[in-house]
Amino acid sequence: MKLQGIFAAITTPFDHKGDIYRVKVQHNVEKWNRTALAGYVVCAAAGESALLSGQEKLSVWEMVAKHAAPEKLLVAAGAMPGVHETVSLINGAAEMGYQAALIDAPHHPPETQLLYFRAVADQSRIPVIVAGVEGEVAWSASEHPNVVAVCSRTGHPARPEALALAGSESNLWTALESGAAGAVLDFAAAAPYACIAVWEAHRTREHEAGLDWQNRIRRAAELLDAGHYGVPGLKHAMDLHAYYGGPPRLPLVVPSAEARREIEEAFRDLPTDR
């Protein structure tokens, strides 16, 4: 499996009643298909995974798989609180053609997190990408033969033998230069071309261009961080770039007018097409 390049952690479109907006799933995926994104991570945190039922995740995976271009690698973000339900979901994704599963760490002590990752990897029919952990837990989980990568906020695992994917837009260039094979980015759902520009500068060894692009996206990336405007801000940024962001699902709410203005200013000079 070739886990290289920029993978967009895509959002889940909702209508104003909070129902999944099927036609907008198609709209967004077909628009992303025209970019050089390597693939899509579906129903991760950017997809409001905590607010989706298991059946809704299966439905969204099916919709994305139906409309994704053949060359795009599909990753199902299927973490649930328990191993049994997680395995059941990601094996359902495997039947739809998903090539990998991204599994976020549960909120448990490190030894329990490691047991969770290993148990899921034991039973998954598709390779597993571990996310949400750093250090020794990440390294130990990556030793499992069915774990193919660690998605790290720092961009590199505890030991260099494990394949790393960057999980942060704010230090994307540093992560790539430190050995990350690619990146899983929420930001790429709204501004894929800017993220791809950083990747291409890394791939062609254009150091100054890479730093320039990193600096250009830094402020916008900070605003969309989970500690700031998060998914509601990301969805507004998507609306600015002719994707469908739409409303988040309650209890999340749309950004304030002041927040929207701040996001619009940060994204003003980022490319919307290429």
Q: What is the predicted pLDDT for the residue at 176?
A: 94
Q: What is the predicted pLDDT for the residue at 153?
A: 81
Q: What is the predicted pLDDT for the residue at 273?
A: 61
Q: What is the predicted pLDDT for the residue at 163?
A: 87
Q: What is the predicted pLDDT for the residue at 271?
A: 73
Count H helices and E strands in the chain, helices first: 10, 8
Model pLDDT for residues 212-228, shown as the tens digit of each residue: 999 999 999 999 988 89
Distance of alpha carbon 170 from alpha carbon 210, whole angstroms: 13
Q: What is the predicted pLDDT for the residue at 134?
A: 85
Q: Domain residue spans in the chain?
A: 5-192
Classified as helix, coil or strand, 188 is: helix
Token pair 């973000």: residue: 77
Q: Which is the CATH superfamily of the domain at 5-192? A: Aldolase class I (3.20.20.70)
Of 138, 192, 140, 204, give the one whose Cα is nearest residue 165: 138
Model pLDDT for residues 123-178, shown as the tens digit of each residue: 999 999 999 888 889 989 999 999 999 998 875 555 556 689 999 998 999 999 98
Mean pLDDT, the chain cut into blocks of 10 residues (274 residues total): 94 97 98 98 97 97 98 96 96 98 92 96 97 89 94 67 86 92 96 96 96 95 91 97 97 97 93 63
List CB contacts of 76: < 8 A, sequence separation 6 or more.
42, 43, 57, 61, 89, 90, 93, 98, 100, 101, 102, 126
Task: Decide: 198 and 208 in contact? Cβ < 8 Å.
Answer: no
Classified as helix, coil or strand, 39 is: strand
